[in-house]
Amino acid sequence: MVVLEQMLIFLTLMLLGMLLRRLGLFSPESQRQMGSLVVNLTCPALVIAAAVNSEERISFSEFLGCGALFVAVQLLLILAGTLLPRLLRAPAEERGTYNLLLGISNFGFIGLPLAAALFGPDALIYLTIFILINTIAVYTHGMWVIADAAHRLRPARILIQPGLWGGIIAIALYFAPFTVHPALAQAVTMLGQITPPMAMLIIGASFYGTRLREIVQDGRLLLFCAIKMVAFPMLMLLALRPFAPSEVVLGILMVIVATPSGAFTAMVTAVYHPSTSHLASKAISTTTALSVLTIPLVAAAFGLG
């Protein structure tokens, strides 16, 4: 029920984005500008807010242990994201987009509420650790593979990406010997809360004009969605289960690998690789719709939730 309710919320906002595009209130240029705002400002704020508002604290040794496991998971995601587009025989210009579609899931918008409902609020700290690791990976490896020749980020520019520093600041504040002033924490939280609705509006606007027949006839996209939502989570959990220190951590791993492709990819492609933004929106919409069935399926297979 939690997943279904969350999907209905996203679907409503996406339909609104499509309507705004249809009415001419959402243009491709405004879509690009809003995407840049979310990528460079509100998403980093969302991650920082998760760190400063965390009520359940774990020890630094626990942090390092889970961090090492989640780094290994992230490396596996990068490896799979590099190999899968080639196995799908995707055109060269689409490989970076498929890479991010596999490696960037909807951790914040679906993963956090799902983890809280299934495993309790104390489990959110584990997902927060992975989100921080994934954020750093996205703004380094991810931004490098997605940018075309005209927009490619040089290493020096990667180091000044707001998302990268958002992750670093979040980790530092989590273990800092002081607390952030409530007014500042609330401001950052409010800024981060803009992300989910704005992201869904952008995806809906990007999806405007897409026909169901277009998705059904895209065999490569459908195969990717089947692998991303069913085969890949099953294989990853089978491989990682022996290394999970508890059922809660295994459940968080399930959330990491089984959630649909994240809205972030659509916004990044809109800014840095516009020629594949439509593909990203189709994949995100399709995996989001499928997740209503696939997440419960994966969870049931491993006795989670």
User: Domain locations in the chain?
Assistant: 2-19+44-301
Q: Would you report the helix, strand and coil content of the chain in percent, each value rounded to 5?
A: 80, 0, 20
Model pLDDT for residues 261-282, shown as the tens digit of each residue: 987 788 788 878 888 888 888 8
Question: In 120-245, where does DSSP find H-type helix?
Answer: 124-137, 143-146, 155-158, 162-175, 182-193, 195-207, 212-216, 219-226, 232-240
SS3 state at 57 = coil
Q: How confident is the model at residue 256 (pLDDT cuts 50, 70, 90)?
A: very high
Question: Is the model's pLDDT at 301 over the cut of 90?
Answer: no
| b/e per residue 43-59 (b: at least 16 CB within 10 A) | bbbbbbbbbbebeeeee
Q: Which of 95-104, 106-115, 118-127, 150-159 has the lowest mean pLDDT?
A: 150-159
Question: What pTM does this model have?
Answer: 0.77
Q: How many CA atoms lie within 13 A of 118 on its CB side?
A: 27
What dotted CATH number matches 2-19+44-301? Answer: 1.20.1530.20
The string of pLDDT tens digits covering residues 89-113 is: 999 889 989 999 998 888 766 787 7
Joined together, the tokens standing for residue 216 give 């059904």
Contact of 244 with 298, CB cutoff 8 Å = no
Q: How confident is residue 222, by pLDDT bands cut at 50, 70 and 90? A: very high
* Tokens encoding 254: 């399930």
85 pLDDT exceeds 60?
yes
Is 260 strand, coil or helix? coil
Backbone angles phi, psi at 105, to 5 degrees: -100, 175
**In sequence order, which residues have a C-beta less than 8 Å from that of residue 138 and are 6 or more positions away?**
100, 103, 104, 163, 264
